[in-house]
Structure 1
């Protein structure tokens, strides 16, 4: 392998070499070092390595019968920041995982905002429903034993402010978000593990997708803390996120398939009440 000094063009031969190194079991750091030793500019080498491996993995996935990957919301975490400025509020980055992408944020909402959301939602609560992918409508699901309601996008000044904050934090357009859903889980209530994307194999999915395409990301914000229980669990990862007021957990899924490892649920509330606000993000404008 040799570098073109003036332009350092990323040629098909270089891409093939990178793929061969990956197939041979060489770690990305070792491949990057070999490229630097051969005279490649580090930034060019990193971009070539990342793009080539991403394309290679995507080709393998599609060849294996998985749906094509799509662009997903992504907070600005390249420099491993401790904080992110999300429009009007500085948000803590408490933990971040790449595969699957799961980020826990601290202080996304203030105590006063949490209390106001609960107060606004409480009179409008009804038994929660889920999307019925067999019909494209809604249904009561025995796996979800919460009460809930939806705000329209921009329904109040508070909702508008929070939606702008989310859009800035996740770098995803406000109009691509579903309305904010508020949920209350009393003692014993839970949401058994599930995926948030819409199963392409279900007959009602084409109807659902007309309103904005697939769901590609989920943000769960904790408004009220239960005394015990009620964490957000990811069974495939053996991970549980504690429902601390004002904090949030974000995860994205670039294809509607279990390979995203985004199976998640709300574990039963053992004492007290859990209140959350959920924002689902779509591929396109949600209407």
Structure 2
């Protein structure tokens, strides 16, 4: 059967809705009302957005997109199989590609991860763009520690769950990083991908290629503040224990709208665990 075409006017409307970050369900509804099959509509919307991204890249000389993890399709399942745990999709956005996941971790797992990390905390660092090493930066005022992939049973279980949810190879993930933010601590808006133009990026890119997605898991619920914010689209995700926010970026460029930050903790403290995913096996 020949695939239906959106037509120029409808395609422009679909792309405009995606750029604005509107609810995927609202984008699909006019097609469904017009008699489109659900999967047919999903495929057409995805094709329109992907074609727009490719055209923009070609016209602007931008880097071409990479394949990225996809936890759920637009207007997809509200419950995801994590193998040993059911995870719920609470919110989803197309551009940037963001999914808020409910119940990714149990309360017991959150508490255990905090206790494993607590004695190892040090002032958090960022990647030095010149050397590729670690450096303390004023924009990041948390304390944290990192675990080697599969370092203990808890890490291994969480990493396997994420790999299953995202259908992304386990070995393409970095080890978990746990961060603690006290009152007033924050992480100013930034990108998680490595700047390919920075002299130090060759070092980080040699160990698994570019980052393409992040999963930020909330290990506690701050009394106030501490949201994960996406300034380009005026969207924020509240830090709620056990929940997580997933976001992907198919190329190292601001057009992904993946600029994000950790808003200041206004009362109490915030604990998170972060998982970064690469395009190739990470060593």
For the residue of structure 1 that corresponds to 2:208, the secondary structure is: coil
How many angstroms does 1:200 deviate by? 1.5
Distance 1:132 1:43 in 2: 44
Give 2:206's aligned residue.
Answer: 210
How many angstroms does 1:99 deviate by? 1.4
**Match for 2:135 among 139, 150, 156?**
139
2:200 counterpart of 1:221: no
Give the direction of change, closer, same or farther, for the CA distance of 1:57–1:77 in structure 2 (3 Å limit): closer
TM-score (norm 2): 0.86
**Match for 1:127 among 123, 128, 135?**
123
What is the alpha-carbon root mean square deviation over aligned residues?
2.7
Give 1:165's aligned residue.
Answer: 161
Equivalent residues of 1:212, 1:284 under 8 A apart: yes
Give 2:148's aligned residue.
Answer: 152
Give 1:58's aligned residue.
Answer: 54
Give 1:199's aligned residue.
Answer: 195
How many angstroms does 1:278 deviate by? 0.3
2:245 counterpart of 1:249: yes
How many angstroms does 1:98 deviate by? 1.1
Equivalent residues of 1:143, 1:191 under 8 A apart: yes
Equivalent residues of 2:96, 2:247 under 8 A apart: yes
For the residue of structure 2 that corresponds to 1:265, the secondary structure is: strand
TM-score (norm 1): 0.85
| Unaligned residue ranges in structure 2 (runs of 5+) | 16-26
Describe how 1:88-99 pairs up with structure 2 within 5 A: 88-99=84-95
2:67 counterpart of 1:67: no
Give 1:115's aligned residue.
Answer: 111
Equivalent residues of 2:127, 2:133 under 8 A apart: yes
Aligned residues: 269
Give the direction of change, closer, same or farther, for the CA distance of 1:27–1:286 in structure 2 (3 Å limit): closer
| Unaligned residue ranges in structure 1 (runs of 5+) | 1-6
For the residue of structure 1 that corresponds to 2:246, the secondary structure is: strand
Distance 1:220 1:160 in 2: 16
Distance 1:285 1:263 in 2: 25
How many angstroms does 1:23 deviate by? 9.7
For the residue of structure 2 that corresponds to 1:57, the secondary structure is: helix
How many angstroms does 1:248 deviate by? 0.4
Larger radius of gyration: 1
How many angstroms does 1:62 deviate by? 2.6
Equivalent residues of 1:218, 1:251 under 8 A apart: yes
For the residue of structure 2 that corresponds to 1:224, the secondary structure is: coil
Give 2:8's aligned residue.
Answer: 21
For the residue of structure 1 that corresponds to 2:209, the secondary structure is: coil
- Point out the more displaced range, 114-123 or 225-234: 225-234
Give 1:4's aligned residue.
Answer: none
For the residue of structure 1 that corresponds to 2:219, the secondary structure is: strand
Query: Per-residue CA shift, 1:228-272, capped at 9, x if unaligned?
Result: 111111111111111100000010000111111111100111111
Give 1:283's aligned residue.
Answer: 279
For the residue of structure 2 that corresponds to 1:91, the secondary structure is: strand
Give the direction of change, closer, same or farther, for the CA distance of 1:142–1:50 in structure 2 (3 Å limit): closer
